[in-house]
């Protein structure tokens, strides 16, 4: 494996600084005039990042109190209230008509003994509020007599005494207690400019039939998509946002393949212009060789998932285990920028968002990416009378753009990484808005047929409910075994004894 030499690192720093400055200088879009806007649509896809790594937290199973505390503590470190401002600043620069969100989370909690769950953080509403403070009005797309363009994905339930979290700052004003039961839900959401909301005439959402259960009853990784139909002048367009599964087992077809097959099939009856926004959890080069440096845990080649061909292009690419090429082979065009070019990677910032993940710096240099970004996962796909006018990556400008994370460890990590790369560092932009960058595209809609059919509605597999029952039963058994009988638990609650939790 080649190592980073002093000369190559200096050259790399210079190239990165110049690239970042060029990107920053051309990001501002002038507002479009009404004459220009008649058949144009600007869209943006953005993974907001849950703020915590559920796969890391799963190591504490079956101690679900420890799982819950780990998730909550990591989320509090990646403060979405502040990140929402950074996302809103991006929107102000590019003026999208429609924004496709992934991992738009709701974190909710409830008192241990009685009471209903209360939403503590709602990423979608916090994002909308941040936009409103900048004079930009957006709302969740919701046509009359339709379901909103909002898909409820995977979630982590609140179960008293099983998912207990302690927070001495947030909880007392809300619940009168330092310890409550907490969980979260993930959404795929389509936001539309309020000024254009009257153009939206139909909305909806659907599950993927097959999903993956990480922790039965607690982390069923439900996935799906949200969609809207809208008028663009005299044309119509369908816009969809989705987030397919990231998890896979070695030498087995990834879960995302079956989900993408259904996605393509469900949208197959779409006759109007169609724009797909999403996190497809595959780089076009996947699967990569097991011998390649793979600090980001990408899919590696196996008997079930053979290597991609060289040279790699639409004609030679395999789509057995690659969602990107499945979409391309189904007739969708990648709006760009060039997904095969390493400089347009969109994933790889650290879990705590303190800039690029240090462990990925060597790999990103070898691949020719921006620092720490090691894979392209986020795309805008188009079909049926859609002409791409422009496309670019947004959110990859660290450390020129970010938010002021205040944790000492985040500031220290960000300062160290910036120093190592020879990049300018400022505490106000120490952390990236998300572990993903996003994509912005402007398209022209023409020759679009009227859309008569809606995508079919699906509900996730019924085995989910069996898994939920078994999972919660297992968690109760574990809790009773750790704390004593159910009566003993009630005595603890009565005397407000603090629950054991993991840092």
Q: What is the mean pLDDT of each run of 10 residues along the chain (503 residues)?
A: 37 43 42 58 98 86 91 96 97 98 97 86 98 98 96 90 95 95 96 97 94 74 94 94 92 94 96 96 96 92 95 97 98 97 94 89 88 93 96 94 92 90 86 97 88 83 51 50 40 30 35
| Gyration radius of the chain over CA positions | 23
Cα 470 to Cα 381, 476, 489, distances in angstroms: 39, 10, 21
Per-residue HEC secondary structure of 187-249 comes to: EEEEEEEHHHHHHEEEEEEEECCCCEEEECCCEEECCEEEEEEEEECCEEEEEEEEECCCCCC
Q: Is 161 left (phi over 0), alpha (psi -120 to 50) or beta?
A: left
Backbone angles phi, psi at 139, to 5 degrees: -150, 160
Residues contacting residue 400 through CB under 8 Å, at least 6 positions apart? 20, 21, 24, 424, 429
Element (H, E) at 96: none
Question: Is 249 in a helix, a strand, or coil?
Answer: coil
User: Residue 28 CB: number of other CB atoms within 10 A?
Assistant: 10
| Rounded CA separation 441/448 (Å) | 18
Q: Identify the pLDDT of residue 54.
A: 85
Question: pTM score, two decimals?
Answer: 0.86
Backbone angles phi, psi at 279, to 5 degrees: -100, 105
The distance from CA 119 to its chain's CA centroid, rounded to whole angstroms, is 20
Question: Is 455 in a helix, a strand, or coil?
Answer: coil
Residues contacting residue 350 through CB under 8 Å, at least 6 positions apart? 356, 357, 358, 372, 413, 432, 435
| Rounded CA separation 229/126 (Å) | 25
Q: Identify the pLDDT of residue 38.
A: 72
**Which residue from 283, 284, 263 is spatially nearest to 274, judged by alpha carbons?**
263
Q: Identify the pLDDT of residue 473.
A: 52
Strands 224-232 and 235-243: antiparallel
Instruction: Write down all domains in the chain, each with its CATH number in brackets.
Output: 6-26+39-494 (3.60.10.10)
Give Dmax over CA atoms of the chain in angstroms: 72
- Size of the chain, expressed as the number of residues it contains: 503
Q: Identify the pLDDT of residue 425.
A: 85
Strands 98-110 and 224-232: unpaired
Q: Identify the pLDDT of residue 213.
A: 76
User: Residue 209 CB: number of other CB atoms within 10 A?
Assistant: 14
| Rounded CA separation 111/114 (Å) | 6
- 41 touches 443 (CB < 8 A): yes
Tokens 């809609």 correspond to what residue?
445
**Which residue from 43, 50, 35, 21 is spatially nearest to 91, judged by alpha carbons?**
43
List helix spans (H) across 351-462.
361-367, 408-421
Give the tokens for residue 130.
């941040």
Backbone angles phi, psi at 2, to 5 degrees: -75, 140
| Rounded CA separation 69/498 (Å) | 13
């Amino acid at each position: 494996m080649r190592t980073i030499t002093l000369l190559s690192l200096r050259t790399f720093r210079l190239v990165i600084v110049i690239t970042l400055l060029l990107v920053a200088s051309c990001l501002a879009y002038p507002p479009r005039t009404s004459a220009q806007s008649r058949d144009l649509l600007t869209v943006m896809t953005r993974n907001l990042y849950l703020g915590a790594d559920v796969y890391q937290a799963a190591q504490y199973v079956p101690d679900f109190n420890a799982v819950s505390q780990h998730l909550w503590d990591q989320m509090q470190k990646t403060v979405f209230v502040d990140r929402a401002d950074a996302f809103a600043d991006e929107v102000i620069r590019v003026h999208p008509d429609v924004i496709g969100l992934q991992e738009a989370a709701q974190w909710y909690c409830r008192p241990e003994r009685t009471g209903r769950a209360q939403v503590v953080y709602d990423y979608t509403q916090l994002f909308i509020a941040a936009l409103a403070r900048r004079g930009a009005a957006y709302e969740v797309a919701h046509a009359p007599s339709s379901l909103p363009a909002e898909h409820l994905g995977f979630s982590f339930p609140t179960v008293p005494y099983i998912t207990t979290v302690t927070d001495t700052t947030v909880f007392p004003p809300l619940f009168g207690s330092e310890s409550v039961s907490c969980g979260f839900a993930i959404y795929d959401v389509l936001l539309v400019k309020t000024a254009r909301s009257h153009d939206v005439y139909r909305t909806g959402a659907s599950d993927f039939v097959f999903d993956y259960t990480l922790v039965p009853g607690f982390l069923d990784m439900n996935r799906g998509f949200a969609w809207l139909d809208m008028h663009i002048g005299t044309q119509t367009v369908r816009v969809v946002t989705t987030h397919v599964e990231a998890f896979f087992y070695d030498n087995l077809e990834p879960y995302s393949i079956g989900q993408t097959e259904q996605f393509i099939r469900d949208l197959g009856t779409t006759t109007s212009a169609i724009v797909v926004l999403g996190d497809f959890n595959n780089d076009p080069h996947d699967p990569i060789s097991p011998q390649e440096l793979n600090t980001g845990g990408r899919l590696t080649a196996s008997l079930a998932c053979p290597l991609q061909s060289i040279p790699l292009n639409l004609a030679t690419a395999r789509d057995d285990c690659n969602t990107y090429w499945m979409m391309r082979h189904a007739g969708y065009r990648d709006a760009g920028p060039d997904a095969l070019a390493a400089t347009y990677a969109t994933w790889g910032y650290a879990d705590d968002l303190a800039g690029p993940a240090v462990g990925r710096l060597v790999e990103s240099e070898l691949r020719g990416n921006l620092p720490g970004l090691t894979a392209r996962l986020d795309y805008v796909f188009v079909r049926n009378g859609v002409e791409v006018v422009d496309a670019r990556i947004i959110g990859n400008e660290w450390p020129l753009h970010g938010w002021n994370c205040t944790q000492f460890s985040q500031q220290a990590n960000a300062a160290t990484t910036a120093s190592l790369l020879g990049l300018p560092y400022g505490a106000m932009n120490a952390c990236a808005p998300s572990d993903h960058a996003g994509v912005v595209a402007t398209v022209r809609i023409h020759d679009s047929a009227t859309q008569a059919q809606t995508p079919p509605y699906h509900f996730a597999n019924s085995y989910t409910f069996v898994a939920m029952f078994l999972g919660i039963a297992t968690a109760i058994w574990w809790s009773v075994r750790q704390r004593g009988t159910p009566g003993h638990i009630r005595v603890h609650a009565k005397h407000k004894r603090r629950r054991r939790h993991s840092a």
